Structure 1
Amino acid sequence: MSTPASLLLYGAAGSGHSYKVRSLLLLTATPHRYQPIALDTPRVERPADFVAASHFGEVPVLVDGGTAYCQSNAILLHLAQRTRAFCGAAAEGSAILEWLFWETNRIGFSVPNLRFALRWAPQPAEVLAYLRERAVTDLATLNETLASSEFLVPSGPSIADLACSAYLFWLPEAGLAEEDIPHVSRWLDSLRALPGWVHPNEAMASP
């Protein structure tokens, strides 16, 4: 069994995928080291220890006791099991997995890509329209679900919420407004109120 001090997280400022993991570590007060990776540095020029740990050359990567874990939602599952926190009730495992897979293909694709296109990589109007339509559709799905549920599973906040919300604290940067999705807005406020919650701009800054 590894010790908490053995945890090392590689992440990046502006990365909601990295923020998911960092947020869980902060919310659970899990001791760890955080090492930011500059994503504008060519992959071959990034730190050798990160290159060795990152199977896909991407952030986030969590190194736990010498074992590297890649892909944000896989890391969340590992940490939920490790900390016994934000893992939901036993009967909610399937629902949490559904939300994690949905996030990967839907809101974890649409909102960050729309944000990236608006902030850093200008795209043709038709591409922006496509990304915006997908993002609005995905936010509507969340808003409808949260109209009758405080969090995504009945027992309370879980890694499903951390995954699906990660990029939504940057909604204005994607040209989207919380007031258009009131149930999502209320949910985000509930997450902000959790003890230990930190905004991604602060959480992902260099230590």
Structure 2
Amino acid sequence: MPDRQRAMPTTTPAQAPTTPSLLLYGAVGSGHSYKVRSLLLLSATAHRYQCISLDTPRAPRPAAFVAASRFGEVPVLVDETGGAHCQSNAILIHLAQHTHRFGGAPAERGTVVEWLFWESNRIGFSVPNLRFALRWAPQPADVLDYLRARATADLATLDQTLASTEFLLPSGPTIADLACSAYLFWLAETGIAAEDFAHVARWLDSLSALPSWVHPDKALAP
């Protein structure tokens, strides 16, 4: 009888690398984009990042971005279903829920949301608008004085809170910290020294020491 046919070894073809399903649209210099990009990096969440030039008028921007951006702004996160999520703090909440990272302890969730609302009305208004006025859109002296006074008051609020805790919530860094700190890594551009707010300066150092933290200039580069 003929010898039994020797079984040929089977080989599994190498799988092509998969493309991350999450896509973040952001922009250079956008602290709101940085909030989301920072969370994705710190949580090691696979994603793609596409930089949108805000110098380009809205109409000729990439069609996929225009279709996804309900308000014509960055950031926008497109998820695996093709659904688009807009507004930075809303995206932070969405990602914290889905990654189970940086959302805070269960008992802290309400306080996290309070800080996100505070940020959008206070430090997320004063510092970026002061920075924008100084760098790109000159304003009258009284406008600059108003923005500087608000920014100083907001930094004082943060400094007072951080005098008794390393991060804004006892459990550790959360999306509240990522939101409130986003523009402060560019604080020197406003003429305000972080060192004048010792607890804020220490907090920013603690955030920048987190594993996988990346400065916004690098994180948002095209």
2:166 to 141, 150, 170: 150
C-alpha spacing 1:94/1:4, structure 2 compared with 1 (3 Å): farther
C-alpha spacing 1:99/1:4, structure 2 compared with 1 (3 Å): farther
| TM-score, structure 1 as length reference | 0.97
**How far apart are 1:178 and its partner, in Å?**
1.1
In the alignment, which residue of structure 2 is the partner of 1:137?
153
**How far apart are 1:174 and its partner, in Å?**
1.2
In the alignment, which residue of structure 1 is the partner of 2:126?
110
Gaps of 5+ in 1: none
User: Number of paired residues?
Assistant: 204
Q: Which has the higher helix share?
A: 1
Instruction: Tell whether 2:63 aligns with 1:63.
Output: no
Task: Write the deviation string for residues 64-118 of structure 1: whole angstroms up to 9, x where unpaired.
Answer: 0111000000000000011100010000011000000000000000000000000
2:180 to 148, 158, 164: 164
Instruction: Quote the Cα distance in structure 2 between the aligned partners of 1:53 and 1:162.
Output: 24
Instruction: Tell whether 2:123 aligns with 1:119.
Output: no
- Which contiguous aligned blocks of 4+ residues in structure 1 show a shift greater than 3 angstroms? none
Amino acid at match of 2:147: L
Q: Secondary structure at the match of 2:118?
A: helix
8 Å CA contact 1:9–1:33 kept in 2: the answer is yes
Instruction: Quote the Cα distance in structure 1 between the aligned partners of 2:144 and 2:175.
Output: 29
Identity %: 76
Instruction: Tell whether 2:96 aligns with 1:80.
Output: yes
2:212 to 179, 186, 196: 196
Gaps of 5+ in 2: 1-17
Instruction: Quote the Cα distance in structure 1 between the aligned partners of 2:19 and 2:212.
Output: 17
Alignment RMSD: 1.0
Task: Write the deviation string for residues 11-35 of structure 1: whole angstroms up to 9, x where unpaired.
Answer: 0000000000000000011110000
Q: For residues 164-183 of structure 1, what are the structure 2 equivalents within 5 Å? A: 164-183=180-199
